[in-house]
Amino acid sequence: MFSLLYNTSIWLYGAAIRLAAPFHTKARQSAEGQRHLLASIQTRLAGNTAPVAWFHAASLGEFEQGRPVIEAFRERYPGYKILLTFFSPSGYEVRKNYAGADYIFYLPLDMPQNAKQFVGLVKPRIAFFVKYEFWLNYLQELHQRRVPTISFSAIFRPGQVFFKLYGGGYRKLLTYFDHILVQNQQSLDLLKGIGLTNLTLAGDTRFDRVAQIVANKKEIPVAQLFKGNQPLVVIGSAWQADLDVLIPFLNRFDQPLKVIIAPHEIHTDEIERWRGQLRGTSIRYSETQTSGFESASLASSTVLIIDNIGMLSSLYQYGDYAYVGGAFGKGLHNILEAATFGMPLFFGPSYQKFQEAIDLVQEGGAFPVADTAELEATFRRLYQDQAAHQKATEISRQYVLRNIGATGKVMEVIQDYSLID
């Protein structure tokens, strides 16, 4: 019965995506990505004789979480081909040309025949799933073929279906993993409580990824010139709900402050609406790249809006403060990219599903805000009290440093699977 209900829900999801495709960009990208997908995979892999390691990430955030393991695996096992799949267009469309993988595809919908055909075509010697990815048919097929299957950077909470009285089918699904590496002690205890044993408390590989970002950060001259010698707040992965709180604060703030806004999604009409609402002089990054642009216009502007994707992680190096978006909506975006450079962090109230946010709030490096008034009061306190600002800065930086190392633990686990002939 569980399998029937699960497969029906996947079929309905696929149907809904096809119906929404004419009206919704991401739905259209998903539908187009699924069209003739298995045939494309068969063509691309034809003639490959090298062993394949399959990595699957839901979206861009999970890819960044998995990237340190992908790159460590390639270094340790250079004879393998890396095949990377994404569930979401926001991952695939941004990273479809990632040089660290040999093959990059959407994941075919998790129907029994798709899973059987995909695994048969790819013939993975080992499979990795990042964080939340639990696909019944793929896991069953890998288990039946005795393919070592690893989940890493996984995190579990008491309210999830795995731990409910009616969650037997989902608990069974977890047994198809050969090893699960979890982020925190609570996750470890929950899985032990339902009888799982092949577990490791490894931490979160995102810490390793943001350490890589610091080591390989890209200089952005436009941001450096814009900042000058003034304090700067970087507003990263911002949505409209975040700007509804931020704009009134920015318009009232009467001390020197430069502002960089990096939207989570680029929509020209939305950016122009924000510019119209902001009292300070604003400029778009794309305007600084045109011929005849005068740098004086950049230096005299108070707000720089980033109208492209891919720069945010390096922009944080210029920040004295960071506000990370998403926590006035579905959930907080990546705060570690900012924390690793050391600065006080601000975000909205919906952060409880993110262990790093919980930790940093408790330690005093991050500050959740419920509205404009709370943001203004907290920001002004840190702006005016240099000692408090420096304390929050050091807390954020040290938090990242002491949590590095999860990738190495993943690599230790897979040594047991005889990947080298």
- The pLDDT value recorded for residue 418 is 77
Q: Do domains 2-203+405-417 and 214-402 have the same CATH topology?
A: yes
| Residue 26: pLDDT over 90 | no
Provide the percentage of residues in the chain whose pLDDT is more than 90: 80
Query: What's the average model confidence in pLDDT over 247-267?
Result: 96
- Bridge pairing between strands 199-201 and 179-182: parallel
What's the CA gap between 215 and 264, in Å, rounded?
A: 24
Provide the percentage of residues in the chain whose pLDDT is more than 70: 100
Query: What's the average model confidence in pLDDT over 193-199?
Result: 95
| Residue 293: pLDDT over 80 | no
Q: Residue 276: enclosing H or E segment and its boundaries?
A: helix 268-277
Domain 2-203+405-417 sits in CATH at: 3.40.50.11720
What's the CA gap between 381 and 310, in Å, rounded?
A: 32
Quickly name the fold that domain 214-402 has: Rossmann fold (3.40.50)
What's the CA gap between 175 and 198, in Å, rounded?
A: 9
Q: Residue 103: enclosing H or E segment and its boundaries?
A: strand 103-106
Query: What's the average model confidence in pLDDT over 367-378?
Result: 98
Q: Are 283 and 303 in contact (CB under 8 A)?
A: yes
Q: Let me know the angle formed at the C-alpha of 282 by 298 and 217, rounded to the nearest 5 degrees.
A: 60
- The pLDDT value recorded for residue 421 is 58
- Residue/partner pairs of 79-83 with CB below 8 Å, 24 or more apart: 79/50, 79/51, 79/420, 80/50, 80/51, 80/52, 80/53, 80/125, 80/419, 81/48, 81/50, 81/51, 81/52, 81/53, 82/52, 82/53, 82/55, 83/52, 83/53, 83/54, 83/55, 83/122, 83/124
What's the CA gap between 331 and 289, in Å, rounded?
A: 33
End-to-end C-alpha distance for the chain, whole angstroms? 41
Q: Are 225 and 298 in contact (CB under 8 A)?
A: yes
Question: pLDDT, tens digit, for every residue of 264-277?
Answer: 989 999 999 999 99
Least confident of 3-7, 248-252, 376-380, 390-394: 3-7
Question: pLDDT, tens digit, for every residue of 328-360?
Answer: 998 899 999 999 999 999 999 999 988 899 999
Please state, as a whole number, how many other Cβ atoms lie within 10 Å of the Cβ of residue 77. Answer: 17
The shares of helix, strand and coil residues in the chain, as percent rounded to the nearest 5, are 50, 15, 35
Q: Are 288 and 221 in contact (CB under 8 A)?
A: no
| Residue 82: pLDDT over 80 | yes
What's the CA gap between 263 and 248, in Å, rounded?
A: 17
Hey, where are the domains in the chain?
2-203+405-417, 214-402
pLDDT level of residue 21 (50, 70, 90 thresholds):
confident
Query: What's the average model confidence in pLDDT over 149-168?
Result: 93
- The pLDDT value recorded for residue 33 is 85
What's the CA gap between 353 and 414, in Å, rounded?
A: 28
Half-sphere exposure of 276 (CA within 13 A, CB side): 6
Q: Are 337 and 358 in contact (CB under 8 A)?
A: no
- The pLDDT value recorded for residue 23 is 83
What's the CA gap between 111 and 37, in Å, rounded?
A: 14
Q: What is the mean pLDDT of the chain?
A: 93
> Which has the higher per-residue pLDDT, 103 or 212?
103
C-alpha of 402 from chain center? 20
pLDDT level of residue 56 (50, 70, 90 thresholds):
very high
Query: What's the average model confidence in pLDDT over 225-234?
Result: 96
Question: pLDDT, tens digit, for every residue of 294-317?
Answer: 777 888 899 999 999 889 999 999
Query: What's the average model confidence in pLDDT over 366-382?
Result: 98
| Residue 241: pLDDT over 80 | yes
Query: What's the average model confidence in pLDDT over 133-156?
Result: 96
Rounded to the nearest 5°, which phi and psi values hold at 126?
-155, 150
